[in-house]
């Protein structure tokens, strides 16, 4: 039975929680109280039809994308396609790789179109779309492993910079990954682009044919996965330092290519407590790391 979308304020009374099927958004906005409530209402109005729109063209969105692929018609679906299109000649990717970031972005746009806000975020399970008026900033904490939520570093996103989207991907997350990264966090112009790029980089953090990595065809776990029979990572045994470096090298290469193509701004790659940063600035200038992580780095 189709359950209706959930629209509610979180118990703190400040943040909006929107939930429908697999979509779960936490939304925060700052500005005049009136503006915030207008923004939340706009978000809720836009949200209620998003899942139905996406579901209507799900088979297409789950198919491998190519330059000449049929374009989807929904607004969110078009964001998804636009985000993955730059990658589709180089690797297997489907529009679903950018679904979370695209939904976040769509909802954020509905809010900023409805009113003027100082700043706002739409967090879709770690894929975050940001709005920053002049002079505003957000401080973002990063976790290495979602199942062990301790911050390994923090970063500041300010209105002066170009970053408006953050996404994280890894095999421990909710979506499947072809790679072995615990988490790859990407900063990009927008959330959909960050989402697609995080997927691509996390897939590239890899040690093909390594016996310590358990891989299972996606379809065996989730019969209708867009990854079909591709082997997705289900377990990674402790790796040697040189193996970790090799896997991170591979991921960092992919990240540098995406940066050269101006698809992303920065990226942090985590694998078994080792962290690699691909960034336009010296690593410690834009991203602060806690002491513990530095010891492993």
Residues that bind other proteins (CB under 8 A): 1-3, 6, 8, 10-11, 17, 19-22, 24, 26, 51-52, 55-56, 58, 123-126, 174, 220-224
Nearest-approach distance from CB 170 to other proteins, in angstroms: 15
Please check whether residue 119 is in contact with residue 55, taking contact to mean a CB–CB distance below 8 angstroms.
Answer: no
Of residues 123 and 272, the one with the C-beta less far from other proteins: 123
Nearest-approach distance from CB 250 to other proteins, in angstroms: 28
Nearest-approach distance from CB 206 to other proteins, in angstroms: 24
Under 8 Å CB-to-CB from 150, ≥6 apart: which residues? 143, 144
Please check whether residue 110 is in contact with residue 116, taking contact to mean a CB–CB distance below 8 angstroms.
Answer: no
Nearest-approach distance from CB 143 to other proteins, in angstroms: 12
**C-alpha distances out from residue 189 to 83, 126, 205, 223, 231, Å:** 11, 16, 22, 34, 31
Strand partners, 275: 270
Nearest-approach distance from CB 4 to other proteins, in angstroms: 10
DSSP 101-163: HHHHHHHHHHHHHHS--SEEEEEETTEEEEEE-TT-EEEEEEEEETTEEEEEEEEEEETTSS-
Of residues 42 and 99, the one with the C-beta less far from other proteins: 99
Of residues 1 and 260, the one with the C-beta less far from other proteins: 1
Of residues 3 and 209, the one with the C-beta less far from other proteins: 3
Query: Residue 222 belongs to what H/E stretch?
Result: none
Of residues 85 and 226, the one with the C-beta less far from other proteins: 226
Picking from 55, 199, 29, 44, the residue whose alpha carbon sits closest to that of residue 130 is 29
């Amino acid at each position: 039975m189709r359950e209706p979308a959930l629209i509610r304020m979180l118990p703190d009374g400040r943040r909006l929680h929107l939930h429908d099927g697999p979509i779960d958004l936490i939304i925060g906005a700052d500005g005049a109280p009136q503006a915030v409530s207008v923004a939340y209402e706009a978000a809720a109005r836009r949200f209620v039809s998003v899942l139905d729109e996406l579901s209507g063209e799900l088979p297409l969105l789950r198919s491998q994308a190519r330059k000449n692929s049929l374009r989807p018609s929904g607004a969110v679906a078009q964001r998804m396609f636009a985000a993955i299109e730059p990658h589709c000649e180089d690797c297997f990717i489907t529009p679903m790789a950018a679904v979370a970031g695209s939904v976040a972005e769509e909802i954020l746009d509905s809010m900023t179109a409805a009113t003027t806000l100082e700043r706002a975020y739409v967090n879709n399970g770690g894929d975050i779309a940001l709005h920053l008026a002049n002079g505003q900033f957000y401080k973002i904490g990063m976790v290495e492993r979602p199942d062990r939520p301790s911050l390994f570093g923090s970063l500041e996103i300010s209105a002066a910079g170009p970053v408006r989207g953050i996404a994280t991907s890894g095999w421990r997350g909710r979506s499947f990954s072809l790679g072995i990264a615990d988490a790859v966090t990407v900063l990009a112009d927008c959330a959909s682009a960050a989402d697609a790029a995080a997927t691509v980089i996390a897939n590239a953090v890899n040690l093909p044919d390594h016996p310590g990595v358990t891989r299972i065809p996606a379809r065996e776990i989730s019969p209708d996965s867009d990854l079909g029979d591709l082997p997705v990572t289900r377990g990674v045994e402790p790796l040697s330092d040189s193996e970790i470096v090799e896997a991170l090298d591979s991921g960092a290469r992919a990240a540098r290519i995406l940066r050269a193509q101006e698809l992303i701004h920065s990226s942090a790659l985590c694998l078994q407590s080792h962290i690699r940063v691909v960034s336009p600035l010296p690593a410690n200038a834009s991203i602060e790391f806690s002491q513990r992580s530095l010891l492993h780095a």
